[in-house]
Amino acid sequence: MAVLTLIATCATSSAYAASYALPENGDDVIGAVTTLTLTYEDTLAAIAEKYGIGYRELVDANPDVDPWLPGEGTRIRLPTAYVLPSAPREGLVINVAEYRLYYYSPDGTKVVTFPVGVGRMDFPTPLIQTKVRTRIENPSWTPTASARREHAEMGDPLPHVVPPGPQNPLGHLALQLEVPGYFIHGTNKPFGVGQMVSHGCVRLYPGHIETLAALVPNGTSVYVVNEPFKVGWRGGELYAEAHKNLYAPNRRTDLVRRIVMATEQHSDSATTGVDWQRVDELGASLTGVPVRL
């Protein structure tokens, strides 16, 4: 089983980042789902930031819980188990469907994962392969014409350049990508992490971007993918994880195709051993929690 360690960060927001040992046997699932008992004052938004989890993934993992008034003694699931995306296990992999970034260490022994905020429906995060160009401390933000127009319509006109400071949505640290205009950055509004909030960039909790920037050298590969369905193996058992496709309708055929591909890669496995009723339930619930098939 992949081993979890916690990396301390430098900000009070999101005190830890999760680092897992990559399975040496080629398995695809890391982490484990844990539970937490809430107090009367808790909200899922506060719990998400405290434990370094994205808001949307916490809500999806607990569909029967009121996110703003969960209630004293309510037990929730912390969705801290993951089927690794099918992208190459190198550099940075961002799966927009699960609002999550994975960083694979250069020696291939561990993966560190962070929740992220991604582009809104009208400004989707592009599915690209690129590289980290450079690290920028206290970045300025140059809004696009559409961003300035949108803010003006809301009565909040923007200057042509937003200087560093508390009003800058890039936060205090950014990784500039080789694709012009796109960044992986911090934020001045942590609640947006784990939601569709940006104009296409990828945002992290302030403490998480510090940790990530310390780990990632310039030239690191970046793969941005959209995998609402992920399928993989752990200990000879098949698991699947289902999320809402943010930019298009979910298609059950995509989940079935991934299951068939995964079983064909194991000569001692067959799709006849798959619990297809469980597959249907998984495709309907979209909790983002890995389920054994």
Asked if 113 contacts 2 with a C-beta cutoff of 8 angstroms, the reply is: no
Active site residues: 185, 201
DSSP readout, 24-74?
TT---EEE--EEEE--TT--HHHHHHHTT--HHHHHHH-TTS-SS---TT-
* CA–CA gap between residue 199 and residue 151 (Å, rounded): 12
Rounded to 5 degrees, φ, ψ at 281 are -65, -40
Residue (of 8, 18, 87, 5) closest to 57 by Cα position: 18
Angle made by CA atoms 20, 175, 97, in degrees to the nearest 5: 55
